[in-house]
Structure 1
Amino acid sequence: MRLLSAFVFGFVLLSAPSAWSASCGNGPGGFEAWKQSFIANSQSYGLKKRVVESSLKNVKYNKKVVSLDRNQKSFKLSFNQFYAKRVNNAMIRRGKQLGKTYARIFRGIEKKYGVPAPVLLAIWGLETNYGSFSGNMPVLQSLATLAYDCRRSDFFTAELVAALKIVQGRDMQPAEMKGAWAGELGQTQFLATSYVRYAVDYDRDGRKDLIRSIPDVLASTANYLAQKGWRRGQGWGPGTANYNVLKQWNKASVYVETISVMAGQISE
């Protein structure tokens, strides 16, 4: 669920940023003071101060994250360029095989949420190559840096609050929260706000684990699409209602078209 430049998809503001406002910054100079103010005012977001203090204790400003936020180029490619860069025959074959391996889980998920396996496999493959790499950057550090940074401070403050609510709810520990540079988590790269709203404990182990639990990953992705209006039993090509639902996953047209085409190839 990529977060890139203008292609920022809808998100749920879990707590109004107006509840507390600290000065943003465009460099590392004021980060520590901002962090301490955030910790001091954490209760205004419905967070426990001890949880926030412990979670952010070793978090520092990350220049690399800010640089990556300023230099996003993937979605400037044409569809053919993007598809060739992101999808190959091996990925399609792998998707087909995983569809067989987890056939029972996919059947259960489709029965409950209405979303067919090929669509989930395409998203899973595109986001992290079926879970082979979901990112290794500390999510809380990325989100704190971007919440402090002035460019999209309100947006990333909401994401930071959501990530801390994941910790507070004991679904994950801070050290486990490794992901992409903009804070996306898990095998289908959920933003923290989406994690809080749409993640499900499909394997019933008491945790919503989108990093290690494949059943949770796939069911949560299906739940997201279902909540956005996925129509059971219908197609997902351009012009369909379900294609418009895929735009809720990622507003970049080349990405949505890639999901649609890749899912079609996996289903053959």
Structure 2
Amino acid sequence: MILFNGSTAARIRTFGATVILVMAVSAGAAGAASASTAEFVRGLWPEAQARGVSRQAFEASFAGYNPIPQVMELTKSQPEFTQTVKQYLDKRVTDAQAQKGRAMRQEWAQTLGGAESRYGVQAEIVLAIWGMETNFGGFMGGKNTIYALATLAQNGYRAAFFRDELLNALRIVSDGHVRPENMVGSWAGAMGHTQFMPSSFMRYAVDYNGDGRKDIWNSVPDALGSTANYLKSFGWRPGETWGYEVRLPAGFDVQAAQRLGKATLEQWRQLGVARVNGRAFPRPTDVGRLYMPAGATGPAFLLLPNFDVIKRYNNSDSYALAVGHLADRILGSGSFATPWPAGDYALTKAQRAELQTLLNRAGFSVGTADGVIGPKTRAAVVSYQQARGLSADGYVSGLLLERLKR
């Protein structure tokens, strides 16, 4: 979902939540709330008018508007992210999703082929984003976007950001791309088949089918073309992949690799890093970084520039890896060659604090056990691993906590 182009993006999406809100509101309070809503809408009009929004579109967009209590509840109830990368992938990249992606590739072959020719983005990547965002259009959020954004802005939740998104949404309606009642999306305002925020729509949405409207809600060609245009705009490299699963040689110095950061694939090859399928890297001068989402004992990847372009959609390594892997699965590839560590689990904040406490007790100082994993904690983990003859990857995990408990 295109939100902030930052790490907040991945945390601000919640679909299918059920919130039961019991309210006892007096008649006087209800009147005050109505007055406040009316005042908010009146105060918004001068800004909307300055943005080129017509009065007709403005009134149509706010017809019947009242703040949505569930939207504000969802801002307070976002769960702590406690999934390993494997768990994240297992829920999103399945045989069924890959099969559905292949069916969609066949159904929309002409659109996808044309978009690839025009924007240079491989069809499978666009399909994978579509699948990740809304299950290929199966669920686009269901909230009235104008009402949801107005609720957030009126209640002061990231008020400047959501007020701006609301004004962009009003302009989209005014420009005739969609009727306000058909502008649906997530509670945070991400819209349509591939979940554009209104500001991203204004910059990157395209009228791919040429009917005069950029309709990412009802026109699959417009949604897929817009997604390809978005990726192109952030520097997608045509004909190149997102990365490679690789094998690390015995005794590989993880710390040295982390200090190296980005290097050419030829430099990585000279360090003994090789593709799991045994083939050579097709472009040795490409620059990549090493990514070990489960530490040194799990799958490892060299990530290429296109991986970072995917992250402009959602600034999460887990998300971008899922998109890349689903795209590969749509192409017919199998699961990753290297197994994930058995029994691993993600740590809650309380468990991270427990891990820090145990490291302190063992003589590997992390300072205050606050549950925040920073450089000092990772350095303590590396020292612990070196002292115990383990691979010094600095990876904080459930398996490490269990070892410390012994």
Give the TM-score, by structure 1 length.
Answer: 0.86
Structure 2 gap segments, 5+ residues each: 11-31, 244-301, 333-406
2:8 counterpart SS class: coil
Q: Which residue of 2 aligns with 1:86?
A: 92
Q: How many residues align?
A: 251
Identity %: 37
CA gap of 1:34–1:92, structure 2 versus 1, over 3 A, is same
Q: Which residue of 2 aligns with 1:208?
A: 214
CA gap of 1:184–1:105, structure 2 versus 1, over 3 A, is same
Out of 42, 48, 58, the position equivalent to 1:36 is 42
- Given residue 94 of structure 2, which amino acid in structure 1 is its aligned partner? N
Q: Which residue of 1 aligns with 2:67?
A: 61
Deviations 1:64-115 (A, max 9, x none): 1111122223744221111122232111111112112222221111111010
Q: How does 1:3-22 map to 2 (within 5 A)?
A: 3=3, 6-8=7-9
Deviations 1:24-79 (A, max 9, x none): xxx96844322221124432333334432331132111111111122223744221
1:131 counterpart SS class: coil
Taking only aligned residues, the RMSD between alpha carbons, in angstroms, comes to 2.1
Q: Which residue of 1 aligns with 2:390?
A: none
Structure 1 gap segments, 5+ residues each: 10-26
- Given residue 151 of structure 2, which amino acid in structure 1 is its aligned partner? T
Q: Which residue of 2 aligns with 1:254?
A: 318
Deviations 1:116-172 (A, max 9, x none): 011011101111111111121111000101112323111111110111111110011
Identify the structure with the greater helix proportion: 1
Quick one: distance in 2 between partners of 1:141 and 1:253? 32
- Given residue 107 of structure 2, which amino acid in structure 1 is its aligned partner? T
**Is the contact made by 2:85 and 2:318 (CA closer than 8 Å) also made in structure 1?**
yes
Shift of 1:235: 0.9
Quick one: distance in 2 between partners of 1:168 and 1:119? 32
1:250 counterpart SS class: coil
**Is the contact made by 2:190 and 2:196 (CA closer than 8 Å) also made in structure 1?**
yes
Identify the structure with the greater strand proportion: 2
Out of 94, 117, 120, the position equivalent to 1:114 is 120
1:144 counterpart SS class: helix
1:202 counterpart SS class: coil
2:101 counterpart SS class: helix
CA gap of 1:97–1:74, structure 2 versus 1, over 3 A, is farther
CA gap of 1:54–1:212, structure 2 versus 1, over 3 A, is closer
Give the TM-score, by structure 2 length.
Answer: 0.58
**Is the contact made by 1:179 and 1:186 (CA closer than 8 Å) also made in structure 2?**
yes
Quick one: distance in 2 between partners of 1:175 and 1:206? 19
